[in-house]
């Protein structure tokens, strides 16, 4: 913490400090493990996120085996899973655990920590011209709290009664009573403790991101000269700071109900003929608290995805982003609206219809800023000189997924329709496309785009193209058919549909979806191989700015050290989207505005 004093007082020492940077000796431990360099912390978030993504996706393959082949048994499953798959068939208890952990892992550990943890850490200081985060120490803690949370969640997978199994939304009373399900015995406690660490990690990270963006921008980098990636990560962090603490209160009360005999969420419950002493609680209270975070959470996932896609699309279309200010204001509108729409997850909870009408209105209003953003992405692509790199393909794929998934959001935002479609496969298709697959596509776009900056090498392009096309086609083949079964009323989270006359017709479709899931999963493993292989063996980056981009991260050395820029920080003279201007391919942000340069100057 000695940097506190030096930070505050000595402007004179500034030059000296930079020199110190370069000569600072680092051991393996301080360089790669307990590093305070934002770039290393970003990679730590990324690699932890990749491991979790493989686990989470593998779980979906396992439960898809049950859904696609409810009659068959796979002896190999018994060898691996033991008592969870007796006779090679996944047990119902384990099926629920798989579904729950798939959601928890992907929503929180991969698409929140893995996505904004990676890119906020990596891009914010590099793109605003800062040497590091406002508090590198807090930043390091942020990762290690995430790590501890991860270890606890991973531990819960191996305990005797299995991990939490009440769905990722952990609604009480199922999650509050250990007699209710196997996963509610100890798995649920571990889930809560793990999430508490995770929330603290997110808060420490978020505080840092906001404070860095507001305080550490380099000279000339006004707020309206920041790339949209930074804007989106900034809004994401604010949203996280405002909503994650409410989830913490929510799970603290749940923890008390489970372990201290309180009745916040429980009332009048009879298990196996025995009346429980809990009196006067309300499970609806839990839903309010949970969704007050839960809904902003989907924007915490999708806002960084929007930012990454905007940047990748603009760079690779060789055009300025269309409607820069509209992009920022629509993100602001999304942030504001996301905090007042949580009850649209609760239309079937017996809510007053007049109250519901208000939530419908705000929910549908989100379509406006979302549509503005889609319009701007499409107009940015329009007549662009498009370079179809894997990053660009994934960014375009993101727009496609966001449109397809977003349209069904308009259906589900209406209480009249939602009461029919609630908890059906229609809903699954909606949120997987709009926030799951879309956010993953953007994350892939970001990885292919910034991999050269992260590791000084390129990823393999051919594998990238194969990865894109199989994932793109596969994602639609998996989720598109689910709209139909959802409209027919097929409920989510069921173990076996083959006993229902009305859902038997979907047996073949379920089998088809499961086969595609396996193919897409193998393709993702190929991406992971490409990622790790390229770190050591990929084609080396020879020039500092391989994509001909305008932003500041490409003005650093190919492999920047801690402190990012040797010598002085760069000075910014223009906005980040001067592409194809005045006959020039691109004009870097550090180039001063020329005398005969045409306007407008941002």
Partner 1 sequence: MYSGAMEQKHKIHPYKFSLWLGIASILMMFAGLTSAVIVKRNQANWISYDIPQFFWWSSLAIIISSITLVLAAKAFTHRQMKQYRNLMAVTCVLGTAFLVLQSLGFYNMWQQGLTISSTSSVAFLYVLAGMHALHALGGLVALIVLYAKSYSRKQKMYSVLPIQLISLYWHFVGILWIYLLVFLIMIR
Residue 262 in the binding site for partner 1 (CB under 8 A): yes
Only one residue has tokens 């994650």, namely: 244
CA dihedral 46, 50, 52, 58 (to 10 degrees): 170
Out of 280, 350, 599, 600, point to the residue binding partner 1 (CB under 8 A): 280
Sole binder of partner 1 in the list 40, 104, 121, 218 (CB under 8 A): 218
The residue behind tokens 């506190």 is 4
Question: Could you give the maximum distance between any two Cα atoms of the chain, in Å?
Answer: 86
Candidates 260, 270, 272, 325; binder of partner 1 (CB under 8 A) is 260
**Contact yes or no for 229/119 (Cβ under 8 A):** yes
Residue 328's CB is within 10 A of a number of other CB atoms, namely 18
* Residue 125 Cβ vs partner 1, minimum distance, rounded to whole Å: 8
Residue with smaller CB distance to partner 1, 2 or 27: 2
281 forms part of the interface with partner 1 (CB under 8 A): yes
Asked whether position 210 contacts partner 1 by CB under 8 A, the answer is yes
Residue linked to tokens 């991990």: 163
3-class SS of residue 274: strand
Per CB under 8 A, which of residues 540..579 are in contact with partner 1? 569
Indicate the residue among 210 and 395 with the shorter CB distance to partner 1.
210
In residues, how long is the chain? 602
Q: Which stretch binds partner 1 (CB under 8 A): 201-209, 459-467, 489-497, 502-510?
A: 201-209
585's enclosing H/E stretch is strand 584-586
CB count in 10 Å sphere of residue 319: 21
Q: Is 211 in the site for partner 1 (CB under 8 A)?
A: yes
Read out DSSP for 363-398?
Answer: HHHTHHHHHHHHHHHHHHHTT------HHHHHHHHH
Q: Which is nearer to partner 1, 132 or 553 (CB)?
A: 132
User: Looking at beta carbons only, is 139 or 330 nearer to partner 1?
Assistant: 139
| Complex with partner 1: residue 212 or 550, whichever CB lies closer | 212
Instruction: Please pick, from the candidates 53, 111, 120, 134, the single residue that binds partner 1 as defined by CB under 8 A.
Output: 134
Choosing from 197, 244, 359, 411, the residue that interacts with partner 1 (CB under 8 A) is 244
Which of 39, 131, 453, 457 is in the footprint of partner 1 by CB under 8 A? 131
Query: In the set 83, 219, 539, 601, which binds partner 1 (CB under 8 A)?
Result: 219
| The token pair that represents 119 in the structure block | 């890119």
The span of 55-63, 103-111, 188-196, 255-263 binding partner 1 (CB under 8 A) equals 255-263
3-state SS string over 312-346? Answer: HHHHHHCCCCCCHHHHHHHHHHHHHHHCCCHHHHC
355 lines the binding site for partner 1 (CB under 8 A): no
How many of the chain's residues bind partner 1 (CB under 8 A)?
A: 61
Smallest gap from residue 245 Cβ to partner 1 (A): 3
What is the spatial distance between Cα 559 and Cα 556, in angstroms, rounded to a whole number?
A: 8
Determine the distance from the C-alpha atom of residue 94 to the mean position of all C-alpha atoms in its chain, rounded to a whole number: 25
Q: Binding residue for partner 1 (CB under 8 A) from 142, 263, 404, 485?
A: 263
Q: How far is the CB of 239 from partner 1 (least distance, A)?
A: 11
Stretch of 27-35, 258-266, 398-406, 414-422 lying at the interface with partner 1 (CB under 8 A): 258-266
Name the residue nearer to partner 1 (CB basis): 177 or 401: 177
Q: Residue 219 class from Cβ within 10 Å (0-12 exposed, 13-18 middle, 19+ buried)?
A: exposed
> 146 near 52, Cβ under 8 Å?
no
Token pair of 286, please?
């839990």
Of 442 and 555, the one with the shorter C-beta distance to partner 1 is 555
Taking only Cα atoms into account, the Rg of the chain, rounded to an integer number of angstroms, comes to 25
253 lies in the site for partner 1, by CB under 8 A: yes
Which residues make Cβ contacts (< 8 Å) with residue 37, sequence separation at least 6? 31, 132, 136, 562
Buried b (16+ CB within 10 A) or exposed e, 561-571: ebbbbeeebbe
Q: How far is the CB of 210 from partner 1 (least distance, A)?
A: 6
Note the residues at the interface with partner 1 (CB under 8 A): 3-11, 14, 17-18, 20-21, 129-132, 134-136, 138, 203, 206-208, 210-212, 214-219, 241-246, 248-250, 252-253, 256, 260-264, 279-282, 285, 288-289, 292, 569
């Amino acid at each position: 913490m000695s940097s506190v004093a030096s930070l505050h007082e000595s402007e004179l020492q500034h030059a000296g400090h930079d020199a110190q940077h370069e000569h600072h000796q680092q051991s393996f431990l301080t360089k790669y493990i307990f590093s305070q360099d934002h770039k290393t912390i970003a990679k730590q978030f990324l690699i932890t996120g990749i491991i979790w993504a493989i686990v989470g996706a593998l779980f979906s393959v396992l439960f898809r085996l049950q859904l696609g082949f409810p009659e068959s048994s796979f002896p190999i499953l018994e060898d691996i899973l033991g008592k969870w798959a007796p006779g090679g068939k996944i047990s119902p208890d384990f099926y629920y655990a798989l579904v729950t952990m798939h959601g928890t892992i992907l929503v929180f550990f991969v698409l929140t920590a893995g996505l904004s943890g990676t890119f906020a850490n990596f891009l914010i200081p590099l793109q605003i011209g800062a040497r590091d985060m406002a508090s590198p120490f807090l930043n390091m803690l942020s990762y290690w709290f995430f790590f501890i949370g991860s270890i606890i969640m991973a531990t819960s997978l191996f305990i005797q009664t299995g991990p939490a199994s009440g769905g990722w939304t952990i609604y009480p009373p199922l999650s509050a009573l250990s007699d209710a399900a196997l996963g509610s015995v100890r798995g649920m406690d571990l889930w809560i403790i793990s999430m508490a660490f995770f929330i603290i990690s997110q808060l420490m990270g978020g505080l840092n991101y906001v404070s860095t963006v507001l305080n550490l921008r380099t000279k000339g980098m006004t707020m309206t000269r920041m790339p949209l990636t930074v804007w989106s990560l900034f809004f994401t962090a604010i949203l996280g700071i405002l909503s994650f603490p409410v989830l913490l209160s929510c799970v603290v009360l749940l923890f008390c109900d489970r372990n201290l005999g309180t009745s916040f969420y429980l009332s009048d419950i009879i298990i196996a003929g025995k009346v429980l002493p809990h009196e006067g609680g309300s499970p609806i209270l839990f839903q309010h608290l949970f969704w007050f975070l839960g809904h902003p959470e989907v924007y915490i996932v999708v806002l960084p995805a929007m930012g990454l896609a905007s940047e990748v699309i603009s760079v690779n279309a060789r055009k300025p982003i269309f409607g820069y200010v509209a992009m920022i204001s629509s993100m602001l509108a999304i942030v504001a609206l996301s905090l007042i729409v949580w009850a649209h997850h609760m239309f079937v909870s017996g809510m007053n219809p007049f109250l519901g009408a208000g939530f419908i209105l705000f929910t549908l209003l989100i379509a406006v800023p979302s549509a503005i953003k889609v319009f701007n992405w499409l107009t940015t692509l329009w007549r662009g000189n498009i370079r179809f790199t894997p990053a660009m393909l994934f960014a375009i794929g993101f727009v496609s997924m966001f449109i397809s998934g977003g349209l069904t959001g308009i259906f589900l935002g209406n209480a009249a329709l939602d009461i029919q479609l609630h908890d059906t496969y229609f809903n699954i298709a909606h949120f997987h496309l709009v926030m799951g697959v879309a956010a993953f596509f953007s994350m892939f776009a970001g990885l292919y785009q910034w991999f050269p900056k992260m590791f000084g090498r390129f990823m393999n392009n051919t594998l990238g193209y194969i990865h894109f096309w199989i994932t793109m086609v596969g994602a639609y083949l998996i989720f598109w058919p689910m709209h139909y079964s959802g409209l027919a009323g097929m409920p989510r989270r069921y173990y076996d549909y083959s006993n229902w006359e009305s859902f038997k017709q979907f047996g073949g479709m379920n089998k088809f979806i499961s086969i595609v899931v396996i193919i897409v999963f193998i393709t993702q493993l190929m991406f992971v191989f490409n990622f790790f292989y390229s770190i050591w063996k990929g084609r080396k980056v020879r020039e500092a700015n391989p994509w001909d981009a305008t932003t500041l991260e490409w003005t650093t050395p190919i492999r920047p050290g801690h402190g990012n820029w040797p010598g002085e920080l760069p000075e910014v003279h223009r906005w980040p989207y001067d592409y194809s201007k005045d006959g020039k391919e691109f004009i870097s942000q550090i180039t001063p505005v020329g005398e005969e340069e045409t306007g407008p100057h941002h």
